Structure 1
Amino acid sequence: MHDHDPCAVNSLIETPGCDPSAHRVVWDPAHSLWNGGMLFVALAFGGMTVSLGAMAIFVLMTGATLLLGHSVGFHRRLIHGSFDCPLWLERTLAWVGTIVGMSGPFWMIRTHDLRDWAQRQPECHDYLAHRRPMAIDALWQMHCRLELDHPPAFDMGRIGRDPFYRFLERTWMVQQIPVAAALWWLGGWGFVVWGVCARVSISVVGHWFVGHLAHRRGPQTWLVREAGVQAHDVPWAAIPTMGEAWHNNHHAYPGSARIGLYRGQSDWGFRFIQALERLGLAWDVRTPEAMDERRTALLEARR
């Protein structure tokens, strides 16, 4: 990546004429079949395989993978670089992020950064703004992709050249196989259905649902100047998203490792990063207190 600005979209390069509004939405067969298949297995076989053990596996694995992998590993470390850590730990967190089952690390970075960049422009396509009704937005986000007529370029720098991340990107679906094998050995097919299929489904659907709400309604503390899309907090989802649901805060300070900024705002992702910091495994943890320049881009909103 380029010289890192924690509040910039660091993997994206604006090319001449790039435009987030000229577009077409097309079917994405790989993600559509994956997401649909996981949901089908969960719905078709979840009821006949449910048990206390399977439910415990589902809850524990969903929470652990969302916390360590999606929130801390993918979002706060790889995408925003909001803290530094040893490479072995970064790779471990990224592997857990891949196990969440949404996609590989490069797809996650590109998808996030394209949306982030587009929402900062005066205008962007409804796909990137979650403007369409819920059913259409769900179909678009989980089964389709946006092809821009004039897209920006991407340069992921060190992350894009890392052989381990390239491996994860090629094999992100296959990474569920060793997890499924271990779960089958521990508890049979019920553990596989609930520990893989139901877990992946709730993670994918939940990620879309909270993202949809976070761009439609809810409390706001800040508005970002000149941005065509503003964000809202989704307070009820703070715990299941590990703090990611304070999305208005995140739009205000995207490079902050702390997303739950105010009293009473639960943020388990930041608490985990603080624990790593106390163990000497995280450093240069970025928070809004060190982002004075960012405040010039913000307007205080009426809550």
Structure 2
Amino acid sequence: MPMTIQPADTRPDEAEPLPLATLGGDRQGTLERVTLTLFIVAPFLALVAAVPVVWGWGVGVRDLVIMTVMYFLTCHGITVGFHRCFTHGSFKPNRPLKIALAIAGSLAIEGPLVRWVADHRKHHRFSDKEGDPHSPWRYGETVPALLKGLFWAHLGWMFDEEQTDQRKYAPDLIKDDDIRRISRQFALWTLVSLLIPPLVGGVLSWSWQGALTAFFWGSLVRMALLHHVTWSINSICHAVGRRPFRSRDRSGNVWWLAVLSCGESWHNLHHADPTSARHGVLKGQLDSSARIIRWFELAGWARDVRWPNRERVESRRAE
């Protein structure tokens, strides 16, 4: 009988604290800073620069609204649904919410639900050690090794022939008829996700041009941006960032990704306390996913929410 992996199997209480999560330990050289800056910032700058260039004929307010709505709908489907609910059991949804979250996460086009969860649970079990599916430290700490590792953690790992055993890491989801069916329908949700923007854009503009530009920005650009942000949690947030909490890996907090990642980039607390429904627990740390979970709880759609209290947070503080 396959072993059930509990969401809380990554308790850091007895782990020895690691150095600050930066390149080469506690210090960063100029070359390292330039390398990381280019890797992180260049894709975002290219996207921002494209908007004014094509404004008025290749993009308009309608396209950006469609892209933004689809982005945050699918992003929260991943963060609230795939991650905090299905992977870590941060709260228990009622059946309609469970189905809605499963579909919303599937619309992000990041792979079938069960495979996504299995991969992430395995990541937590071996975080930044041998067996981790996507650690940026896989090849070492030199600049060339880290560049190779960042690429691997960002997207290269998804092309690895080795597949996570779903029966071992996600047996609870396999037994759930609703989840299993939605996971198997991944191709359908991919098609739906790509068609919603052009359908809305075409209806609102009543033109093929409106449908085409909505497809480009609301489907293709939105998907690429969301994937890049999600993969940055695997790569960037395990290479740089502050580490105010004890964890047994190199997970760090990257503040400038907080809004786009819907709160996921407060990654150090997440690895210090994986089942917490809130990742941004310190003052000023925006966490839209936690806010949405709170709304679900107030509406009676979510129960047994694992909110962090002051004592729990302080017990995980780094010395």
Q: Aligned match of 1:54 in 57, 63, 78?
A: 63
State yes or no: 1:133 paired with 2:151.
no
User: Partners in 1 of 2:160 and 2:314 — Cα distance?
Assistant: 29
User: Partners in 1 of 2:177 and 2:119 — Cα distance?
Assistant: 20
User: Partners in 2 of 1:114 and 1:233 — Cα distance?
Assistant: 21
User: Partners in 1 of 2:300 and 2:294 — Cα distance?
Assistant: 10
If you compute each CA radius of gyration, which structure gives the higher value, 1 or 2? 2
Q: Aligned match of 1:113 in 101, 104, 121?
A: 121
User: Partners in 1 of 2:243 and 2:196 — Cα distance?
Assistant: 43
81-90 vs 134-143, greater mean Cα deviation: 134-143
The equivalent of 1:178 in structure 2 is 192
CA contact (8 A) 2:90 2:305 kept: yes
- Please show how residues 202-281 of structure 1 align to structure 2 within 5 Å: 202-224=225-247, 227=248, 229-281=249-301
151-160 vs 276-285, greater mean Cα deviation: 151-160
The equivalent of 2:206 in structure 1 is none
State yes or no: 1:300 paired with 2:293.
no
User: Partners in 2 of 1:162 and 1:205 — Cα distance?
Assistant: 30
The equivalent of 1:8 in structure 2 is 9
Structure 1 unaligned residues grouped into runs of 5+: 10-41
C-alpha spacing 1:124/1:207, structure 2 compared with 1 (3 Å): same
> Which residue identity is paired with 1:8?
D
Q: SS where residue 300 of structure 1 aligns?
A: coil
Task: Give, in angstroms, the shift of residue 208 of structure 1.
Answer: 1.3
280-289 vs 177-186, greater mean Cα deviation: 177-186
Which string of whole-angstrom CA distances, capped at 9 and with x for unpartnered residues, describes residues 176-216 of structure 1? Answer: 32344343232212112222111111111111123311111
User: Partners in 1 of 2:181 and 2:198 — Cα distance?
Assistant: 25
- Please show how residues 4-153 of structure 1 align to structure 2 within 5 Å: 6-8=7-9, 49-67=58-76, 69-119=77-127, 123-124=129-130, 128-131=134-137, 132-134=145-147, 137-138=150-151, 141-143=154-156, 144-146=158-160
CA contact (8 A) 1:83 1:282 kept: yes
> Which residue identity is paired with 1:210?
I
Q: SS where residue 309 of structure 2 aligns?
A: helix
> Which residue identity is paired with 2:258?
A
Give the TM-score of the pair, scaled to structure 1.
0.74
Identity %: 23
Q: SS where residue 174 of structure 1 aligns?
A: helix
Give the TM-score of the pair, scaled to structure 2.
0.71
Task: Give, in angstroms, the shift of residue 80 of structure 1.
Answer: 0.6
- Give the superposed CA RMSD: 3.3
Structure 2 unaligned residues grouped into runs of 5+: 11-46, 138-144, 202-210
> Which residue identity is paired with 1:124?
E
Which string of whole-angstrom CA distances, capped at 9 and with x for unpartnered residues, describes residues 124-171 of structure 1? Answer: 258532124346533564244445699796152342123332233233
Which string of whole-angstrom CA distances, capped at 9 and with x for unpartnered residues, describes residues 71-126 of structure 1? Answer: 11111100011011201211111100000111110111111111111117xx4258
